[in-house]
Amino acid sequence: YDSNNDIYYILCDAKITVNLTIGEKVYTLTAKNILSHVVATVCMLSFLPILNPAHGPQWILGGPFLREYCNVYDIGNQQIGFAKVVQD
């Protein structure tokens, strides 16, 4: 862990997953989408903290999430859903 930059480092061949629960649905993010290569066999987790004491912990579902799930917008019902991305 690099406390100056709030970055967690991990070996690139780590077999990890991260589960995010949104409402009652669990979304699983796999290592290939949550690790970013740094050097040789070292990667970093593609998460950064967002500290906002007024509103509590927050998440921006960016690249790592969108590589696993695509957004499905239902304008008529004013809702958004997520569908698993089909990968080769």
| Residue 54 placed within a domain | yes
Report CA 77 to chain centroid distance, whole Å: 26
Whole-number Å distance between alpha carbons of 31 and 23: 23
Whole-number Å distance between alpha carbons of 42 and 5: 16
User: Per-residue pLDDT tens for 25-83?
Assistant: 999 999 999 999 999 999 999 877 777 778 777 778 888 898 899 999 999 999 999 99
The pLDDT assigned to 18 comes to 92
Mean pLDDT of 12-19: 94
| Residue 56 placed within a domain | yes
The answer on pLDDT for 22 being more than 80 is yes
The pLDDT assigned to 82 comes to 92
What residue numbers bound the domain in which 63 lies?
Answer: 9-84
Query: Residue 9 corresponds to which tokens in the numbers above?
Result: 């480092």
What confidence tier does 88 reach under pLDDT thresholds 50, 70, 90? low
| Residue 23 placed within a domain | yes
Using CA atoms of 62, 64, 17, 44 in order, give the dihedral in degrees to the nearest 10: -110
